[in-house]
Chain A
């Protein structure tokens, strides 16, 4: 399915165009008129405003001093200050949280996509004993609530001496990221015609060489989308990450909650830390923006 189907559909669509003798401009005009409204932009705009308001409020707070936050109510900082950010960038207890988060998220993304690639290939190309049940079993792990696993995980990783290491969090997040990666990649791989594999084998390619040299470039965007989703779910998850770490590998999101309860309520620093956790996500979305819609449509997620 996937890529080929879309291109095929596009081709059919464009051939229809020519058959009907209509230009792209006419089609566009018609579609615009099809909306029967000049105010279509109102809906996305309102929706985005709704999404941005709470985020704006956080950014706003992060540039205020605590006295200003608690003392007077204002829509924008009256005396903008960078103090809150300075606190974070100068205190290792704060900024090491970011480094920890980034390390385990990266590890998890590499592991998840790495093991999911061959598995997704198997699911997309072969029938084998128990394949459908295996696939469903994998998906149930995506659906398993982390709350159920928090305590046994703590003990499992303790017995391997892995508590408070980055690899422990990375492995724990594999529970829901590996099934997701298999699911997405399988969707993309099914879009690559099987003839390509067969031709390559006839040409004398071995399986590993074929997979790395020919197949992986073909599904590069799929790998990108899968990596994006792994990054996303590992970055936002907190329950397991917090349970499995104490100090050395503590994620930034957990540092936030602890500092809040320990040092009273330093709203300004809390807001600044929150803003800084949004930035990596924003960067990643910006880089994959052209693949988001495609990834949702082509993969199974």
Chain B
């Protein structure tokens, strides 16, 4: 659509601008201010310069949390995207099955995040949880509270359980927009199941897949509540992701300076990655118009 150039449109954007600036810009400025100062409470601050940044950038604690968060996001993407596509391909397109599938699949998305944590905390316990009890009966020793690997697997399975439906719904929305004529043409050409997927379905899903990757990456990179409820960052620091570490530092230990410096580094990483994703997405959009 051809858009007209009109700077009066700014007035329509103004309410959003004021509202978001109030909740985003003031806190962001405050975080920057904290990051160069030291405090012992009561709003008394001392200049610290770049000390906190040095401390954060060279601390193994931050490196550990960053690596954990990045690998968590990669594992999540590697599982959820293919699984989501696979389930979406096998969804019914018509009939009574469609609303049933959609409603049931969307259900985990609308559960408060700490309840998701609670559900899995209970589900995985060896004494009262179905999963933990079953595994124990089968003779597999499983305890997410003491074994770092088990904690990781639990958190990953929980996230798969929680968010794969988002990928499924996005892909499904892309798939139902494919006209029947495409499938008929493929049938006439004698195309295999794989080439139907590769040349008809995948290109149609490209755009929604990009959105899915973007949303899943961002949300898994800043995951906080669910693993916090299940493992509290432990055992040791095995599931101490960036957000968890940040909240521990800022609210738990009241180390405002280091926490603020860490927030800024964290935010810059997210900003850079978002920009890359966003640019890829918009350029893909314009290229396809």
Return A300 CB to nearest CB of chain B, in Å. Answer: 7
Contact mask for chain B residues 13-48; partner A; CB cutoff 8 A; 1 contact, 0 none: 101110110111011101100000000000000000
A278 within 8 A of B: yes
Complex CA gap A297/B239 in Å reads 35
User: Is there contact, CB below 8 Å, between A121 and B267?
Assistant: no
Within A276-301, the residues touching B (CB, 8 Å) are 277-278, 280-282, 284-286, 289-290, 292-297, 300-301
User: A232 near B111 (CB under 8 angstroms)?
Assistant: no
Binary contact track B163-201/A, C-beta < 8 Å → 1, others 0:
011001110111011011101101100000100100000
Stretch at the interface among B55-63, B71-79, B88-96, B139-147: B88-96
Residue of B nearest to A237 (CB): B113
Q: Which of B9, B23, B99, B104 contacts A290 (CB 8 A)?
A: B99
Interface size class of chain A, counting residues whose CB lies under 8 Å from the partner chain: 35 or more
Using known A-B contacts A70-B127, A140-B274, determine if residue A232 contacts B161 with beta carbons closer than 8 Å.
Answer: no
Q: Is the interface of A mostly helix, strand, loop or mixed?
A: helix
Do residues B107 and A238 form an inter-chain contact, with CB atoms below 8 A? no
Whether A69 pairs with B179 at a CB distance below 8 angstroms is no
Which residues of chain A are near B259, meaning CB under 8 Å? 151
What's the minimum C-beta distance from B4 to chain A, rounded to whole angstroms?
Answer: 6
A27-67: CB near B (< 8 Å → 1, else 0) gives: 11011011110001111100110111111011001000000
B-side contacts of A236, CB under 8 Å = 109-113
Q: Select which of A6, A57, A126, A193 is within 8 A of B4 by beta carbon.
A: A126
Q: Are A301 and B169 in contact (CB under 8 A)?
A: no
Contact (Cβ within 8 A) A238 B9: no
Pairwise interchain contact A238-B270, C-beta atoms closer than 8 A: no
B2, B130, B218, most chain A CB atoms within 10 A: B130
Is the CB–CB distance between B193 and A34 below 8 Å? yes
Checking A122, A151, A277 against B115 with a beta-carbon cut-off of 8 angstroms, the contacting residue is: A277
Asked if A256 and B118 sit within 8 Å, CB to CB, the answer is: yes
Chain A residues, CB < 8 A from B184:
16, 20, 22, 27, 30
- Give bound CA distance, A47 to B90, whole Å: 11
Is the beta-carbon distance between A54 and B119 smaller than 8 angstroms? yes
Which residue in B19, B119, B242 is a CB contact (below 8 Å) of A57? B119
B161 — which chain A residues lie within 8 A by C-beta? 50-51, 54
Contacting B at CB under 8 A, from A130-150, are 131, 134, 136, 138-150
| Nearest CB of chain B from residue A159's CB, rounded to whole Å | 10
Q: Which residues of B contact A292 (CB under 8 A)?
A: 102, 106, 169
Q: Contact check, B123 vs A51: say whether CB atoms are below 8 A apart.
A: no
Q: Is B237 among interface residues, defined by CB-CB distance under 8 A?
A: no
Which B residues lie within 8 Å of A147 (CB)? 222, 224, 242-243, 246-247, 250, 263
B256 within 8 A of A: yes
Given contacts A34-B183, A296-B169, contact A274 B222 (CB under 8 A): no
CB distance A145 to B119 under 8 Å? Answer: no
Q: Is the CB of B5 within 8 A of A127?
A: yes
Q: Cβ of A31 and Cβ of B93 under 8 Å apart?
A: yes
The residue from B30, B101, B123 contacting A156, defined by CB atoms under 8 A apart:
B30
Whole-angstrom distance from the CB of A135 to the nearest CB of chain B?
A: 9
Give the contact stretch, choosing among A82-90, A171-179, A213-221. A171-179
Neighbouring B residues of A270 by C-beta, 8 Å: 118
Complex contact A301–B215 (CB within 8 A): yes
Chain A nearest CB, measured from B34 CB (Å): 8
Q: Which of A73, A115, A193, A235 contacts B110 (CB 8 A)?
A: A235
> Which of chain B's residues have a CB closer than 8 A to the CB of A252?
112
- Assembled-state Cα–Cα distance A48/B161 (Å): 10
Shortest Cβ distance from residue B119 to the other chain A in the assembled complex, whole angstroms: 5
Write the nearest CB–CB distance from A48 to chain B, whole angstroms.
5
Of listed A9, A139, A151, A292, residue having the most chain B CB within 10 A: A151
- B193 engages A296 (CB within 8 Å): no
Cβ–Cβ < 8 Å partners of A178 in chain B: 16, 19-20
| B156 contacts the other chain (CB 8 A) | no
Beta-carbon contact of B16 and A13 below 8 Å:
no
Q: Could you tell me if A143 and B105 are in contact, using CB atoms closer than 8 angstroms? A: no
What is the chain A residue whose CB lies nearest that of B267? A148
Which residues of chain B come closer than 8 Å to A257, judged between CB atoms? 114, 229
Q: A115-B19, A301-B215 are in contact. Are A239 and B224 (CB under 8 A)?
A: yes
Contact string, B213-225, partner A, CB cutoff 8 A, digits 1/0? 0010010011011
Chain A residue with minimal CB distance to B222?
A145
Q: Tell me, in angstroms, the Cα distance from A126 to B11 when the chains sit together.
A: 12
The answer to whether B105 touches A277 (Cβ under 8 A) is no
Residue of B nearest to A296 (CB): B173
* Chain A residue at minimal CB-CB distance from B277: A143
Evaluate contact between B3 and A146: CB separation under 8 angstroms. Answer: no
A155 touches B87 (CB 8 A): no
Interchain residue pairs with CB less than 8 A apart (24): A12-B181, A30-B183, A34-B183, A40-B90, A43-B86, A48-B101, A48-B104, A53-B131, A118-B12, A126-B6, A140-B270, A140-B271, A140-B274, A151-B259, A156-B27, A172-B23, A174-B23, A253-B113, A267-B122, A290-B99, A297-B176, A297-B177, A297-B208, A301-B211
Q: 7 tightest A-B contacts by CB?
A: A281-B110, A13-B179, A145-B222, A152-B27, A297-B173, A296-B173, A122-B12
